[in-house]
Structure 1
Amino acid sequence: MEKRGRLAELFRFLQDPHLVARFQRLCGVRGTFSSRPFRRQPAGADGHGRGKKTSKPLRRNSLTGDAGQEFVVENRFLYYLFTFGTELGNELFYITFFPFLLWNVDALVSRRLIMVWVWVMYVGQCTKDLLGWARPASPPVVKVEVFYNSEYSMPSTHAMSGTAIPFALFFLTCGRWQYSSTLGLALALCWCLLVCVSRIYMGMHSLLDVMAGVLYSALILLFLLPALDTIDDFVLTGAYAPAAVAAVYAGLGLLCFTLDAWSTSRADTAQILGSGAGVALGSRVNRVLGLLPDPPPERLPLAPPALGASPLAAAALRWGAGVLVLVATRALMKALTIPLLCRVLAVGEGDVRRARRHAEVELPYRYVVYGAVGFNVLFLAPLLFRALHLS
């Protein structure tokens, strides 16, 4: 009983919002919770050579429309550093990093890394909704970010992806590519720490949320990494793989929509599953057409690509052209899917924002749109590269 009491006390300490608020103050973030009128200070007016900046969260909450409260940033370097760190777990990073890695570095590693990301994020989002723990209270915590504030808190899925992506990338490339394993491990650790600490700085998670996210992700990697060869081979060569992949991901999406009421978590989960299904199906088509072939085993380990002007220009052109394909795919499928679903289901016609809160619209919309985006990462974009002689 005494040990159980100590453990509960430790959990309460790690979940204490005042611990988050103290860390924020240490990093130079100060809230404007006082009811007194707030006077803006010009940059550099703190007398210590560090410019103060009055700011608000960069993006409003997509569910509630909450734009957040003003806060004062006394250390701009840490503000920009941790803003970058938290972006390593957001959609913009995923939609640029994964395709770049796939088109310019290593298709096999990218496919398997996306599998890891899909499963880690899915399990993390579902666990959040099952536990239903609230975000750290504000005040005392300053909400430097509010975009995900309507979601639950435990575990931190940013911490989960910030652990899974760099360490899976390290394990998938170690021995396959020629580089210093010490350097690779150090970079993975720095990536993980930056993302995790940024979530506390942003006021989105307690220390317990972040620690649980790291440990949870490590546990998933322990079971998933040894199975990646088998899963990837099945996706590429299995007779029933296309149907099985589509059915499994769609089924997981239906399950996640039964856990709780609508939130951004629901939308993100469907989006991730759709992307994973699209990439898996696109990988199968890509292999049949030979668009992005894996290097033969005798070429392993692979030497790092040359960093001359010509290879860098080709990589930049591939990435730019490919992203245009993805953006166009997303816009087209979104324009077609939402009105069609609203009309067929007679839900929220004329009010897209309200319609997207209905599970019967949200699930197929996100799944189809991002499934098409994931598919074209490995189909339409490589076809364009071939036509433009950028392969």
Structure 2
Amino acid sequence: MDSATRITLLTKAARRGTFNTSSGSPAAEGRTASSTRRLPRRTNLQPRARQGRQRPRTPRPPAAASTPRRNSLTEEDGCQEFNARSRFLYYLFSLGTELGNELFYILFFPFCIWNLDAWLGRRLIIIWVWVMYLGQCTKDVIRWPRPASPPVVKLEVFYNSEYSMPSTHAMSGTAIPLALLLLSYGRWQYPLMFGLILAFCWCSLVCCSRIYMGMHSILDVIAGFLYAILILIVFHPVVDLIDDFNLTYKYAPLIIISLHLALGIFSFTLDTWSTSRGDTAQILGCGAGVACGSHVNYMMGVKLDPPLDTLPLSLSSLTVTVFGKAILRLLIGVIILLLTKIAMKKATIPLACKIFRIPHDDVRKARQRMEVELPYRYITYGMVGFSLMSIVPCVFHFIGLS
């Protein structure tokens, strides 16, 4: 390497802060050139690392981001997307909403009848049927619209086609826990304060969930709460008479079926289609099926009620075996109910379309016709209620789970 080239390299190294006072041997020249090549890389890495630390982090996605669950029978073009900032509140009030939906009913009432107290379960269903029926009818008389969206963000639109006043979720969320407290206290051994706290939390959760979900105003919820209490005041004193009539009167099934069917047919003069009519027929059918199943059990001598000498009942005898049998009964029984529902749905919709000469190419459109909707709902859920009260307990007895 000539002297001019060496002077140029040493000058560049000095400017970069890598000047080395080594001798001019080839080894020293190699180290100097190597240092000249490596050190700038180390220098360049440091700013990148600092830039990486200073780079703003990408915001984490919201706790819940989705579209509301909608009813497949409605003709809504789309659903408003939403982001829930509080995961806890969103799932808490979603749970509160489910306490007034079909999934809860198909788990709660069977569990109560099969595992706890059939006497209590029958009376709860009687009160529930009348509360829901009167609430749905009142909605279609008042015809108060749902809260406008916007400004309200609706996190659930499954029942958006129905009217708003009063809130039937608030009515069921008030009537069921209060009726459970009134009917069970004294028959079951538990602290009164526990029952009051449970009823308060249950009722508050359901009522507040309807406001959080954007489906009702505060006035709707308060009206539903007070309306449910009024119905309880009227029907609680006579619920024993109604249950005794369902069990013992010879022609009770004929009267029950005729009454519930008439209530479903003559109660509605809808200006536009909504899920209200079908849901009401579904509730009436379930109540009629349970009542008829209770009558059949009584006539056949099938006793589901606990013996009188075991009263008051207590949960202190709960063991692993008892709990396991209860879960197994619930699992097998609910599967039977769901199979019954599917089979009856497959049979009744085409049959009703054929009888009333309604095209069934579009099942959704066909189910919105009263001639199809009422028979389908009434017969299907009537059989579900009858299976709940009569067929499933017979299956339990046959396989040794009674």
TM-score band w.r.t. shorter chain: 0.7 to 0.9
Q: CA deviation at 1:63?
A: 1.3
In the TM superposition, 1:1-391 aligns within 5 A as 44=60, 52-60=63-71, 62-304=73-315, 306-391=317-402
In the TM superposition, what whole-angstrom CA distance separates every residue of 1:93-143 from its partner, at most 9, and x where no partner exists?
111110111000000100000000000000000000001010011111001
Partner of 2:36: none
Counterparts of 2:398 and 2:88 in 1: how far apart (Å)? 44
Q: Point out the structure with max Rg over C-alpha.
A: 2
Q: What SS does the corresponding residue of 2:197 show, helix, strand or coil?
A: helix
> Structure 1's 333 and 313: CA in aligned 2 closer, same or farther, altered over 3 A?
same
Query: What is the match of residue 5 of structure 1?
Result: none
Aligned length: 346
Change (3 A) 1:300 1:155: same
- Per-residue CA distance 1:144-178 (angstroms, 9 max, x = gap): 11111111000000000000000000101000000
Amino acid at match of 1:234: F
Distance 1:60 1:228, change over 3 A: closer
Question: Structure 1: how far apart are the matches of 2:207 and 2:138?
Answer: 18
SS of structure 1 residue aligned to 2:124: helix
Tell me if the contact between 2:94 and 2:209 (Cα under 8 Å) persists in the aligned partners: yes
Q: Distance in 2 between matches of 1:170 and 1:90?
A: 21
Aligned CA distance change for structure 1 residues 191 and 302 (closer, same or farther; 3 Å): same
TM-score w.r.t. the length of structure 1 is: 0.86
Q: What percent identity do the matched residue pairs reach?
A: 58
CA distance, structure 2, for counterparts of residue 323 and residue 155 of structure 1: 31
What is the rounded CA distance, in whole Å, between the counterparts of 1:368 and 1:145 in structure 2? 28
Q: 1:43 deviation in Å?
A: 6.7
Tell me the secondary structure at the aligned position of residue 142 of structure 1: coil
Unaligned runs of 5+ in 2: 1-56
The aligned amino acid for 2:60 is G
**1: CA distance between counterparts of 2:352 and 2:72?**
25
- Residue by residue, what CA displacement relative to the aligned partner does 1:350-374 show, whole Å, maximum 9, x if unpaired? 2211111111111111000000000
Shift of 1:259: 4.4
Change in Cα spacing, 1:373 to 1:276, as seen in structure 2 (3 Å) is same
How far residue 293 of structure 1 moved from its aligned partner, in angstroms, is 2.7
Point out where structure 1 has 5 or more consecutive residues left out of the alignment.
1-40, 46-50
Secondary structure of the corresponding residue to residue 386 of structure 2: helix
1:213-248 CA distance string (max 9 Å, x none):
000000000010000111110000012211111111
Query: In 2 relative to 1, CA 150–43 (structure 1 residues): closer, same or farther, beyond 3 Å?
Result: farther
Find the residue that maps to 1:154 and give its secondary structure.
coil
Report the CA distance between 1:303 and its aligned residue: 1.6
For the residues of structure 1 that align with 2:84 and 2:330, how far apart are their CA atoms?
35
- Partners of 1:150 and 1:341 in 2: CA distance: 24
SS of 2:190's equivalent?
A: coil
Distance 1:66 1:85 in 2: 27
Contact residue 126 and residue 259 of structure 1 kept, 8 A: no
Secondary structure at the residue paired with 2:214?
coil
Q: What code does the residue aligned with 2:292 have?
A: L
- Asked if 1 retains the 8 angstrom alpha-carbon contact of 2:137 and 2:268, the reply is no
CA deviations on 1:185-207 (whole Å, 9 max, x unpaired) are 11001100000000000000000
- Given the superposition, is the C-alpha separation of residues 377 and 136 from structure 1 closer, same or farther in structure 2, using an over 3 Å criterion? same
Structure 2 Cα separation of the partners of residues 172 and 283 of structure 1 = 18
Q: Give the Cα–Cα distance (whole angstroms) in 1 for the partners of residues 254 and 291 of structure 2.
A: 11
SS in 2 for 1:379: helix
Q: Which moved more, 1:344-353 or 1:178-187?
A: 344-353
- Is this contact kept in 2: 1:318–1:385, CA < 8 A? yes
Distance 1:328 1:42, change over 3 A: farther
Deviation of 1:304 (Å) = 1.7
Structure 1 vs Structure 2 CA RMSD:
1.6
Q: Distance in 2 between matches of 1:119 and 1:161?
A: 10
1:44 counterpart letter in structure 2? R
